[in-house]
Amino acid sequence: MSQPDIPFPQSPVLPTMVDEKYVIQFSCHKGIGCWNACCSNIDISLTPYDVVRMKTRLGISSTEFLKDYTVPYEMDKDSIAGVKLRPVENGTACRFMKPEGCGIYEDRPTACRYYPVALLSMRKQDEYVDRDSYAIVKEDHCKGHEVKRRIAIADYRKEQGLEEYDELARGWRQLVLKKQSSGPSIGKPTLRSRQLYFMACYDIDRFREFVSAESFNKLFDLPQEEKAALLVDDVALLQFAFRFLRQVLFGEESIALNAEAAQERLAKVQEKRLIEEREAAKKRAMESEAEGDEGFD
Ligand code: SF4
Ligand code: SF4
């Protein structure tokens, strides 16, 4: 089964993009000759909301879920971390696949819901808003395309419960697009910012501990009732995590900083900048000295 966000990572051929009015011919139902063929060979990227749904379904923490049920991967050259569903030990099949179908059907991930459609979120460099378009994935083993049921992608999304899934992962998609469109000018993120990104996006239970910690309190001036409400609601906390990441990674301030901490932070940033400038000046001086030495040879 192909993944929706980067649907054809190995293919050099760009898919034809269509909008949500496009009508597909497709039906997947029990009894079809290829039943479970797609779930026998998986390559499924998860959104942060998928992780919340699945770990809740399994009754485990996000930390346990990530460890046992996923494998991390780099979404692209900019080192944006992603997670994929881990298949069965020494195999390619999904661990939730049962003879009667998906064992977690009500909480199945976005990619499984979309299939055979792939969502392509894009943002033009001169535009702030992201736009969704779609591609159709046709794999030889999938006989669903031969069934004569016609449905517009918009209705297919409704049928598969994707409106909610996409809405609750939108903040994450925007972060990914923003990182991709900012490209090399921002440079490779530091290990610390990558860890923060991973935790806030995927490990919601650790992010909860992070928000509950005294160090967070010292830095951010978040009203107590707002914080208490966030801490008991994974979905609300996830939306806050996206907001938090926009602030710490891209400087889009929406969470008030504690005045004293803000001063301290500013002083630290200035000190760091000063050290960097000194280092750069030292390096330049050494380089020009070396060039001068070469001239005398
Ligand atoms: S989660 Fe369910 S639908 Fe998705 S690959 Fe696994 S068994 Fe198939
Ligand atoms: S019709 Fe396609 S999606 Fe449905 S079981 Fe067969 S291979 Fe999977």
| Residue 150 DSSP class | E
83 CB-contact burial (10 Å; exposed 0-12 / middle 13-18 / buried 19+): buried
Atom 4 of ligand 2, nearest CA residue: 28
Distance CA 220, CA 201 (A): 19
Distance CA 186, CA 72 (A): 23
Nearest-atom index, ligand 1, CA of 111: 4
- For residue 24, list its beta bridge partners: 151
**Ligand 1 mutation pick, 112, 114, 142, max ligand atoms within 8 A of CB:** 112
| Residue 94 DSSP class | B
Report the separation in Å between the CA atom of 195 and the middle of ligand 1, taken as the mean of its atom positions.
28
Nearest-atom index, ligand 2, CA of 34: 6
Q: CB of 245 within 8 A of CB of 48?
A: no
Nearest-atom index, ligand 2, CA of 27: 1
Number of continuous H segments (helices) and E segments (strands) in the chain: 11, 9
Report the separation in Å between the CA atom of 42 and the middle of ligand 1, taken as the mean of its atom positions.
8
Residues 42, 46, 48: CA angle, nearest 5 degrees:
170
Report the separation in Å between the CA atom of 29 and the middle of ligand 2, taken as the mean of its atom positions.
8
Which tokens in the block code for residue 139? 């794999």
**Ligand 1 close to Cβ of residue 46 (< 6 A):** no
110 CB-contact burial (10 Å; exposed 0-12 / middle 13-18 / buried 19+): buried
Report the separation in Å between the CA atom of 69 and the middle of ligand 1, taken as the mean of its atom positions.
12
Nearest-atom index, ligand 2, CA of 145: 1
pLDDT for res 97: 97
Q: What is the dihedral of CA 31, 164, 119, 20, to 10 degrees?
A: 90
**Ligand 1 mutation pick, 42, 50, 54, 55, max ligand atoms within 8 A of CB:** 42
pLDDT for res 297: 43
The model's pTM:
0.84
pLDDT for res 138: 92
Backbone angles phi, psi at 106, to 5 degrees: -65, -20
**Ligand 1 close to Cβ of residue 238 (< 6 A):** no
pLDDT for res 166: 96
In this structure, the residues whose C-beta lies within 6 A of any atom of ligand 2 are 28, 32, 34-38, 115, 141-144
Which tokens in the block code for residue 12? 């050099």
**Per-residue pLDDT tens digits of the chain, which is 297 residues long:** 544 444 344 443 456 889 999 999 999 999 999 999 999 999 999 999 999 999 999 999 999 999 999 999 988 766 688 999 999 999 999 999 999 999 999 999 999 999 999 998 876 655 556 778 999 999 999 999 999 999 999 999 999 999 999 999 999 999 988 887 765 544 567 788 889 999 999 999 999 999 999 999 988 999 999 999 999 999 999 999 999 999 998 889 899 988 887 788 788 878 888 888 898 888 888 888 877 665 444
Give domain limits for the chain: 23-179
Local structure of 74: helix, strand or coil: strand
Nearest CA among 101, 80, 3, 107 for reference residue 46: 3
Q: CB of 4 within 8 A of CB of 114?
A: yes
Nearest-atom index, ligand 1, CA of 94: 6
pLDDT for res 69: 98
